[in-house]
């Protein structure tokens, strides 16, 4: 019964995240959904700035704190390890939903691209960014990243393997393609408003800070193997001639080159 409840909890967390994240894509892209990053009646600029910064901060703090290994060790004394990741997904979804709900528009235009070809290219980059992100989750292990594998393992009484170091496909060229996808999507806007710029700048800064913390955990977990990987492969931008070479890593089970967050 406990295993079945864990599976239902994990599926519920995953579905809630998918719905919220799909809304977030439309929110950032300014289409379909009733409230987007630039829609709504603008209020005082300073008030909007403060509220939006606080919302971004809530998401960043929740995501960073709950992703750290030290927090996980403390947290799993109270929360079963099998649903720890699903619980992270629940909190992350709640923080994202709060941001989408309470975001204040700052519609002052910073730049506006009107050339039809350029607009089409920018829109294409927007979707390429989300595509890179989605592909990166499956290269890691999509269902483990969102907690489904863990709850299934509890119900089926499977052994959970230890994390192993792998660099599949995109990870041979760039250490964090998932974050690269985010950055591309956040900045691909034909019309960049002050609110969208704040969002893009803050999220990019958070990504860079998050990478620093994440790579510290990865070095602690994988030691010299990750240090060697970091020396050979660029962080976010694929560079000519920079590619990871490690034949031993090709034979590991598919758990991805990043630590489970």
Residue 163, pLDDT score: 84
The mean pLDDT values, 10 residues at a time, for the chain of 261 residues are 88 97 98 95 96 97 89 89 94 98 97 97 98 96 93 86 88 96 98 98 96 93 94 93 69 44 39
Helix (H, G, I), strand (E, B) or coil at 24: helix
* Predicted TM-score (pTM) above 0.85: yes
Cβ atoms of 244 and 229 within 8 Å: the answer is yes
- For residue 248, give Cα distances in angstroms to 104, 170, 217: 50, 17, 21
Radius of gyration of the chain from its Cα atoms, rounded to whole angstroms: 19
Q: What is the pLDDT of residue 248?
A: 55
Give the pLDDT of residue 180: 98
Structure-token match 């209020």, residue found: 43
Distance CA 156, CA 235 (A): 37
Q: How many CB atoms lie within 10 A of CB 186?
A: 20
- Cβ-Cβ contacts under 8 Å for 32 (sequence gap 6 or more): 26
What is the three-class DSSP state of 175?
Answer: coil
Main-chain phi, psi angles of 161, to 5 degrees: -70, 155
Q: What is the pLDDT of residue 261?
A: 39
């Amino acid at each position: 019964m406990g295993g079945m409840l864990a599976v239902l909890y994990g599926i519920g967390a995953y579905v809630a995240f998918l719905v919220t994240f799909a809304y977030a894509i439309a929110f950032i892209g300014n289409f379909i959904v009733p409230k987007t990053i630039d829609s709504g009646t603008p209020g005082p600029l300073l008030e909007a700035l403060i509220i939006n910064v606080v919302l971004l901060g809530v998401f960043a703090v929740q995501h960073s704190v709950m992703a750290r290994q030290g927090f996980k060790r403390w947290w799993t004394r109270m929360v079963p390890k099998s649903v720890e990741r699903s619980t992270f997904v629940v909190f992350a979804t709640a923080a994202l939903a709060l941001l989408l709900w309470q975001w204040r528009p700052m519609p002052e235009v910073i730049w506006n691209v009107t050339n039809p070809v350029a607009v089409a290219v920018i829109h294409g980059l927007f979707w390429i960014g989300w595509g890179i992100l989605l592909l990166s989750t499956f290269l890691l292990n999509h269902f483990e990243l969102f907690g489904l594998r863990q709850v299934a393992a509890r119900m089926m009484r499977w052994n959970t393997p230890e994390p192993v170091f792998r660099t599949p496909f995109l990870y041979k060229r760039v250490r964090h393609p998932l974050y690269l996808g985010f950055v591309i999507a956040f900045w691909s806007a034909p019309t960049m408003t002050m609110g969208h710029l704040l969002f893009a700048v803050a999220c990019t800064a958070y990504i860079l800070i998050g990478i620093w913390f994440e790579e510290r955990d990865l070095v602690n977990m994988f030691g010299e193997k990750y240090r060697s990987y970091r020396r050979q492969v660029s962080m976010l931008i694929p560079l000519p001639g920079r590619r990871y070479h490690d034949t031993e890593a090709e034979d590991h089970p598919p758990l991805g080159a990043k630590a489970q967050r």
